[in-house]
Structure 1
Amino acid sequence: MSATINIQRAVESDVINVYGFLCALEEEKLDFNAFQEIFNRNLKNPDCHYFMAFDEAKCVGYASVHAQWLLHHCGKVGEIQEMFVVDNYRSKGVGSLLIQELMNVAERENFKILEVTANKKRVDTHRFYESKGLEPTHFKFVKKYG
């Protein structure tokens, strides 16, 4: 890995990298057309923040946070929606740089809380988030439709 990882806001052309990352993360092939439409819509939404990590010209990571105003917190809450780092860049600080960028957004926009949900099987991910100061305080319950 080179010495400098560059974090920047995502742009429309980043959709290919993000699509590949999230298909790997979800362990399934997602509908690209629907994915691209949502990606482009969210890029225009001021409450959605997408960040890319680059090692020179190579895209090596991605993270997103979506904000919403929640009554039960009496303020703005950010939820980390996705985070992915290429295998051979893990444990080398890329994830830390990405999450720091999300935390910068949280501070700048005065979030009451920054939260994340991680699949139960991703134990290393749990440890990573805890090492960054996020606490495991809730359970998430899911019912799928369609």
Structure 2
Amino acid sequence: MGEAWDIRMAREDDAPEIYRLVCELEGQQFVYDAFFRSFASQLSDPAVHCLVLEVDGRVAGYLNLRIDHHIHHARPTAEILELIVAAGERGAGLGARLVERARLLAISEGCELMEVASKFERTDAHRFYERCGMVKTHYRLTMPLPTEGE
């Protein structure tokens, strides 16, 4: 890869590009105002580390890492909440660079482990995470909840 790349902490002015990446990943348009409120909240949360990967000065990837304290772990844990690399940039090792930066950040925070949840149908993502050194150890179960008033 001959392009210049850099990983830095996200800024509020990254919101439009990160929004584009999130919509691309999920295959749908989200309400921008709701996205922005969540994004701004994460930027101000010391437990969340929002990493942006730039290629030649443009946002090409994003990783959100949350540090949590659970009573069933001796040390904090790190969870990758989102990892997105622009479709045109995939296959060049950018995602692995984001995961490695997140891993180093988790180590610096004293974390015991780093984990990620991934939808069943994202088999390419599962193989990617396994190549990064992650192993399948858990099931994550979910329950949709109604909005207030339903």
For normalisation by structure 2, the TM-score amounts to 0.92
1:62-77 maps to which residues of 2 (within 5 A)?
62-77=62-77
Give the drift of 1:6.
Answer: 1.0
Amino acid paired to 1:129: Y
Match of 1:29, SS?
coil
Task: Give SS of 1:83's match.
Answer: strand
- 1:73-88, aligned counterparts within 5 Å? 73-88=73-88
Cα deviation digits, residues 43-79 of structure 1 (max 9, x gap): 1111100111111122111111111100111321111
The offset of 1:5, in angstroms, is 1.4
* Length-normalised TM-score, structure 1: 0.94
Q: Find the counterpart in structure 2 of residue 121 from structure 1.
A: 121
Q: Does 1:93 align with 2:93?
A: yes
- Residue ranges of structure 1 left out of the alignment (5+ in a row): none
Which residue does the alignment assign to 1:26?
26
* Cα distance in 2 between the residues matched to 1:26 and 1:10: 20
State how far apart, in whole Å, the 2-side matches of 1:74 and 1:30 are: 38
Identity of aligned residues (%): 28
| 1:22 Cα offset (Å) | 1.0
Runs of 4+ in structure 1 deviating by more than 2 angstroms, as ranges, are: 1-4
**Secondary structure of residue in 1 paired with 2:29:** coil
**Structure 1 residue aligned with 2:11:** 11
Displacement after TM superposition at 1:2 (Å): 3.5
Distance 2:110 2:9 in 1: 19
| Alignment check: 8 A CA contact 1:2 1:55 kept | no
State the AA in 2 paired with 1:83.
L
The residue aligned with 1:112 is: 112
State the AA in 1 paired with 2:55: D
Q: Kindly report the root-mean-square deviation, in angstroms, between the aligned alpha carbons of the 2 structures.
A: 1.2
Q: How many residues align?
A: 146
Give structure 2 stretches of 5+ with no counterpart: none
Q: 1 CA distance for matches of 2:45 and 2:110?
A: 17
Classify the secondary structure of the residue corresponding to 1:145.
Answer: coil
Name the CA distance, whole Å, in 2 between partners of 1:33 and 1:90.
28
